[in-house]
């Protein structure tokens, strides 16, 4: 609906240009919004106000002119001018009903598909040789939901799990491996089964011994220059570590596979060239033996310049070097139109710097859009970064285990007579969904407080509430098995039917916001409102006990579209639905 009104207004602008009311090269930004108050119609635009300067007329006069030039449309029942020059559109109920009717049975639920683009999505991207911790949860979950939505809307998505498999931490781990082998021979291998402990022990050595630290740095350089011994050890680390990650993905229902892993090491062969190319363009400066790039616009508040370090004095490459190579690859080989980075907001400066450098050095096409879609920190109930009781990093697996056992208690208390296997399966879905939904429903850029109680509540904008709402809608059809809806038609009579219909018609608009700005919380908010609109409808409008068959069938169709929309919406968030809970 919104895009329909938008296109009517675009046509109006074109005719203004032809009539000389607006200059021919005028570029209008047309904004159409849903109204809050139904007495102002369903949709509104401030376009008249936006045109006053270019047209040299007052807004109310322009609003009238827009209305006079608006192409006729069956969807628009009435148009009104309000206040200083807003234009309010009242949508025609039968046109809305037709739109909903068409959405039923359509694979895309009537959502209009945009022009397909190639979108590279860089997400999850944990540092290997450590187990995944809660910090990786946000990137993984938010990224995966945007990926699913992009694919649903017909875009070509290339997932890139840019794992940290090439940094200085590998020197430390290899050095520790070496030390253990010298002390106890090949059995040191065994210690690798618990990466977390292994990592901590290596870090301890690194911090306590300068000699060890030097050896670690040296090994990084050897690894990066292709030394066979180092590389073999390195592959072993990665293999174990990646299989940990994929266990977590599978449990979370995240769509990343091994084939999507394209980590820092994948760019190793290009790093030397990155340095040469920057140098050839005169962009490199020596600073204490390191090669760096100064860009005028990046300075501290005190005015000190903030360089990007490209190569350290010992020859080692850095995070930024790899990212430059990765951008080049995504532009020239993957031919991305957009590259989305779901990475902690604390890396914002890094991305601003490397994006601007990549453009400056012409490593990427001008028309490729680079977008850091950062997220805030997940805090504990004390408002500080999430830690275990003893102050350690919370492992993702432990967190999911706890969510699962709490969900099991919850589901058991609601269904005392349910058998164990069914309980366990429902609890698995509720537990994982609760964790995912709690994260997805928060504004991406804010910090949020992780709370099991809140996420497992049946009240408010939570996974249990929505999963339950879905079972209620789906439940209607269990009681209406003998109804043939093939000839049924949607009719919107009752106020609550119209409200529900209006909500349902917004699904497409919501999805474009999810992919344009990388904001799944918009979809969560929408599904919550949709569930609410359905509840109000269901209370006011008997479905199975409707006045007559036509009404009953129409209401069943509305229920059916609600069920499909809730299910598809949850599915785009990476959440499975349940038939009962
Ligand atoms: N491995 C990094 C970290 O854990 C995130 C990498 C994000 N992607 C990128 N292209 N820099 O902080």
Residue nearest to atom 8 of ligand 1 (CA): 162
- For 455-488, write each residue's pLDDT tens digit: 999 999 999 999 999 999 999 998 888 899 999 9
Q: What is the mean pLDDT of residues 53-77?
A: 90
Q: For domain 2-91, which architecture applies?
A: 2-Layer Sandwich (3.30)
3-state secondary structure of 547: coil
Rounded to the nearest 5 percent, the helix, strand and coil shares of the chain are 55, 10, 35
CA dist., res. 536 & res. 506, Å (int): 18
Q: Backbone phi, then psi, for 127, in 5-degree steps? A: -85, 125
Residue 43 C-alpha to ligand 1 middle, in angstroms?
A: 41
Q: State yes or no: pLDDT of 189 exceeds 70.
A: no
Q: State yes or no: pLDDT of 248 exceeds 80.
A: yes
CA 99 centroid distance within chain: 28
Q: Which atom of ligand 1 is nearest to the CA of 136?
A: 4
Would you state the pLDDT for residue 381?
Answer: 84
Q: Among 120, 125, 242, which is best to mutate for testing ligand 1, by the most ligand atoms less than 8 A from CB?
A: 125
Q: State yes or no: pLDDT of 441 exceeds 90.
A: yes
Q: Which of 297, 296, 293, 301 is nearest to 323 (CA)?
A: 293
At 103, the pLDDT band (50, 70, 90 cuts) reads very high
CA dist., res. 268 & res. 324, Å (int): 11
Q: What is the mean pLDDT of residues 127-137?
A: 81
Residue 200 C-alpha to ligand 1 middle, in angstroms?
A: 21
Domain edges within the chain: 2-91, 169-262, 267-372, 396-572
Residue 376 C-alpha to ligand 1 middle, in angstroms?
A: 15
Q: Which atom of ligand 1 is nearest to the CA of 343?
A: 7
Residue 458 C-alpha to ligand 1 middle, in angstroms?
A: 35
- For 76-91, write each residue's pLDDT tens digit: 999 999 999 999 999 9
Residue 342 C-alpha to ligand 1 middle, in angstroms?
A: 9
Q: Among 137, 143, 164, which is best to mutate for testing ligand 1, by the most ligand atoms less than 8 A from CB?
A: 164
Residue 446 C-alpha to ligand 1 middle, in angstroms?
A: 19
Q: Which of 469, 490, 483 is nearest to 578 (CA)?
A: 469
Q: What is the mean pLDDT of residues 227-255?
A: 90
* More reliable by pLDDT, 253 or 24: 253
Residue nearest to atom 6 of ligand 1 (CA): 125
Residue nearest to atom 11 of ligand 1 (CA): 323
Would you state the pLDDT for residue 186?
Answer: 61
- For 139-160, write each residue's pLDDT tens digit: 999 999 999 999 999 999 999 9
Q: State yes or no: pLDDT of 425 exceeds 80.
A: yes
Residue 164 C-alpha to ligand 1 middle, in angstroms?
A: 7
Beta strands in 123-279 (DSSP E): 156-160
3-state secondary structure of 120: strand
CA dist., res. 495 & res. 545, Å (int): 18
Average pLDDT over the chain, rounded to an integer = 92
Q: Which atom of ligand 1 is nearest to the CA of 341?
A: 8
CATH H-level superfamily of 396-572: Isoleucyl-tRNA Synthetase; Domain 1 (1.10.730.10)
Residue 218 C-alpha to ligand 1 middle, in angstroms?
A: 23
- Least confident span in 177-186, 324-333, 556-565: 177-186
Ligand 1-lining residues (CB < 6 angstroms): 122, 125-127, 162, 164, 323, 326, 341, 343
Q: State yes or no: pLDDT of 436 exceeds 90.
A: yes
Residue nearest to atom 4 of ligand 1 (CA): 126
Q: State yes or no: pLDDT of 239 exceeds 90.
A: no
Q: Which of 211, 142, 153 is nearest to 179 (CA)?
A: 211
Q: What is the mean pLDDT of residues 347-355?
A: 97
Q: Which residue has the tokens 């609550």?
A: 496
CA dist., res. 10 & res. 2, Å (int): 12
Q: What is the mean pLDDT of residues 554-565?
A: 97
Q: State yes or no: pLDDT of 182 exceeds 80.
A: yes
Retrieve residue 157's tokens: 């998505």
Q: Which atom of ligand 1 is nearest to the CA of 323?
A: 10
Q: Which of 416, 557, 390, 404 is nearest to 490 (CA)?
A: 557
Q: Which atom of ligand 1 is nearest to the CA of 164?
A: 1
Helix (H) / strand (E) containing 90 = strand 86-91
Query: Taking a C-beta distance cutoff of 8 angstroms, is the pair 450, 378 a contact?
Result: yes
Beta strands in 243-392 (DSSP E): 284-287, 290-293, 308-311, 338-341, 369-372, 378-379
CA dist., res. 263 & res. 126, Å (int): 9
CA 17 centroid distance within chain: 39
CA dist., res. 396 & res. 233, Å (int): 26
CA dist., res. 245 & res. 52, Å (int): 56
Would you state the pLDDT for residue 4?
Answer: 83
Would you state the pLDDT for residue 200?
Answer: 87
Residue 283 C-alpha to ligand 1 middle, in angstroms?
A: 25
Residue nearest to atom 9 of ligand 1 (CA): 162
Q: State yes or no: pLDDT of 59 exceeds 60.
A: yes
Phi-psi region of 105 (alpha: psi -120 to 50; beta: other; left: phi over 0): left
Q: What is the mean pLDDT of residues 161-189?
A: 82
Would you state the pLDDT for residue 192?
Answer: 63
Retrieve residue 419's tokens: 């058998």
3-state secondary structure 191-214: HHHCHHHHHHHHHHHHHHCHHHHH
Q: What is the mean pLDDT of residues 343-372?
A: 97
DSSP state for residue 189 in the 8-state scheme: G
Q: Among 343, 349, 357, which is best to mutate for testing ligand 1, by the most ligand atoms less than 8 A from CB?
A: 343
Residue 137 C-alpha to ligand 1 middle, in angstroms?
A: 13
């Amino acid at each position: 609906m919104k895009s329909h009104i938008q296109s009517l207004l675009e046509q109006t602008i074109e005719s203004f240009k032809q009539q000389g009311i607006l200059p021919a090269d005028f570029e209008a930004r047309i904004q159409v919004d849903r109204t809050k108050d139904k007495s102002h119609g369903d949709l509104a635009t401030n376009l008249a106000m936006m045109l006053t300067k270019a047209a040299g007329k007052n807004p109310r006069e322009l609003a009238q002119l827009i209305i006079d030039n608006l192409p006729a449309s069956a969807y628009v029942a009435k148009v009104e001018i309000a206040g200083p020059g807003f234009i309010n559109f009242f949508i025609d109920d039968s046109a809305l009903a037709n739109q909903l009717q068409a959405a039923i049975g359509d694979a895309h639920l009537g959502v209009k598909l945009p022009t397909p683009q190639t979108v590279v999505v860089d997400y999850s991207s944990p540092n290997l040789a450590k187990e995944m911790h809660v910090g990786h949860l946000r990137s993984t979950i938010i990224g995966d939901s945007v990926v699913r939505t992009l694919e649903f809307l017909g875009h070509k998505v290339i997932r890139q799990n840019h794992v940290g498999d090439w940094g200085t931490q590998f020197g430390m781990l290899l050095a520790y491996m070496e030390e253990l082998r010298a002390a106890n021979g090949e059995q040191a291998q065994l210690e690798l089964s618990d990466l977390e402990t292994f990592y901590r022990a290596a870090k301890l050595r690194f911090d306590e011994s300068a000699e060890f630290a030097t050896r670690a740095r040296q090994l990084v350089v050897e690894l990066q220059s292709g030394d066979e011994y180092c590389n073999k050890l390195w592959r072993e680390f990665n293999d174990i570590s990646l299989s940990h990650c994929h266990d977590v993905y599978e449990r979370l229902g995240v769509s990343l596979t091994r084939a999507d892993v394209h980590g820092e090491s994948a760019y190793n062969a290009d790093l030397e060239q990155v340095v040469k190319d920057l140098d050839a363009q005169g962009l490199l400066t020596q600073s204490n033996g390191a090669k760096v790039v100064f860009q005028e616009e990046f300075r501290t508040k005190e005015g000190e310049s903030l360089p990007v370090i490209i190569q350290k004095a010992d020859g080692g490459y850095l995070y930024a070097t790899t990212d430059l190579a990765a951008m080049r690859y995504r532009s020239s080989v993957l031919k991305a139109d957009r590259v989305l980075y779901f990475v902690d907001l604390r890396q914002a400066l890094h991305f601003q710097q490397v994006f601007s450098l990549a453009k400056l050095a012409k490593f990427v096409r001008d028309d490729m859009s680079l977008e850091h879609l950062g997220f805030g920190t997940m805090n504990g109930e004390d408002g500080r970064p999430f830690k275990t009781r003893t102050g350690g990093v919370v492992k993702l697996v432990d967190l999911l285990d706890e969510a699962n056992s709490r969900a099991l208690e919850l589901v058991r208390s609601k269904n005392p007579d349910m058998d164990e296997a069914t309980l366990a399966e429902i609890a698995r879905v509720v537990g994982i969904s609760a964790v995912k939904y709690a994260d997805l429903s928060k504004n991406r850029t804010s910090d949020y407080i992780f709370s099991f109680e809140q996420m497992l509540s049946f009240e408010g904008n939570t996974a249990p509430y929505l999963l339950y709402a879905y079972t209620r809608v789906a439940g209607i059809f269990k009681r209406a098995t003998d109804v043939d809806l093939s000839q049924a038609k949607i009719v919107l009579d009752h106020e609550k039917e119209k409200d529900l219909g209006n909500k349902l018609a917004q699904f497409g608009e919501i999805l474009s916001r999810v992919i344009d700005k990388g904001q799944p919380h918009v979809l969560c908010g929408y599904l919550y409102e949709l569930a609410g609109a359905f509840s109000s409808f269901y209370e006011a409008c008997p479905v199975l006990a409707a006045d007559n068959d036509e009404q009953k069938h129409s209401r069943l169709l509305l229920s059916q579209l609600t069920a499909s929309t809730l299910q598809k919406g949850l599915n785009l968030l990476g959440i499975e639905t349940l038939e009962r809970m």
